[in-house]
Structure 1
Amino acid sequence: MRRQILKTEDGSHTLYVPAIDEHYHSIHGARQESMHVFIEAGLNAHPGKELTIFEVGFGTGLNAFLTALESKRQQKKIAYYAIEKFPLREEEWKSLNTEKDTYNQESQLFTQLHNYQWEKLTNIDDKFQLQKIEGDLTDFSFQALPPIDLVYFDAFAPDKQPQLWSPEIFVAIFNHMAHGGILVTYSAKGAVRRTMQSAGFQMERIPGPPGKREMLRGRKP
């Protein structure tokens, strides 16, 4: 898949896929979107101090990177699983500036997340474990994972990858989530909300990141 590196409005980078006319993050700010949607509305909304997180779309590693930083800051113990069908090449992630505008220790963390072996649960530090899974969500077996407390649903938009926003996908995720679990996504489409609702989620619309009025958050009762 051919990808181009673009700078977003907050100075952080995203990737653009010309073949489907889609960006990996908001052009209004990749880092601030990730912080708003996944950290503030997801991680900070879950009261647990030990969490299993499942991310749909490892992508640039930005969500995992910010979550690892927060796990240490908040003293939350996190096992983080991320599925990705099209992993970045080394020359691509090394060109991203996600780590370059932070401290050197954080730069090393970003590099670690990308360098660690795929398909293996790895201890990043005493608070954060990561397993990157190369695969397709449409035929993924959740039985390989422990019960999920928090889902970062960060697939490409529903009109770009409709197969990943299907009722079957959300039912499979819902069934493998722990009670009280949370799913957050940048999408605010009515069709997505209704699909998640039919899968069993209690849904709410909440304020979106800069450049987007709303986003969705679902909870498993």
Structure 2
Amino acid sequence: MRRADRLFQIIQILRRSHRPVTADAMAQELETSKRTIYRDIADLLGQRVPLRGEAGIGYVLDGAFDMPPLMLTPDEIEAAVLGAQWVAGRGDPVLASAARDLIAKIATAVPEKLRPFILEPAIGTSPGRGAAADGVDITKVRAWIHAGRKIAITYRDERGETTRRVIWPVIVGYFDTMRMLAAWCELRQDFRSFRTERMVAAEFLDERHGSRPGELRKRWKRHIQETRGVTLP
């Protein structure tokens, strides 16, 4: 790998991590030596890239750092196309349309020599089998998640019994045959998952639940880890 490419990759590694990254971890990913990584870090610092940290502990990139987007590599293109293919086949109508538009935009933006990775991909997903019709506007649910607002739903369980609940939406999960909304339920005072096709009615409230969306998501992840033993990314 050329030195310039390696410097860009170090920045990318630090960008995607929320924790300090050690030189050893970067060296393993980039298939080089720790000594090379230390030299590269010194070069980046000399170029005024705002890195913080030290040897043995790890490095972080200042969140205020801004750099123009880098040209996508073939592997990055295929990763983006594979993800967009999956969403196009399984997402709600708005996201499915956005996924198809994304593929078209990537095809337009990349150099001619990289377009076969999009137009003639070597990867693919199985066709979606079609999720059951949602009983709630998923596009609006996603907006309420970002806004930190509550939703009042009427929910029908597997026995056909209905309850009215006020929930704090956390995340929408997309599966082959259904969609799930994870949320804090005020009725149960705990996190619950709701199948969207079982939502009989939904009222999108202006009231905020008072937790930052990111913090509520962290609490939900801890709940999943403690109750199911699963660590989410």
TM-score by structure 1 length? 0.25
Which of the pair has the greater relative contact order for Cα pairs under 8 Å at 6+ separation? Answer: 1
* Greater strand fraction, Structure 1 or Structure 2: 1
Judging by fraction of residues, say which structure has more helix.
Answer: 2
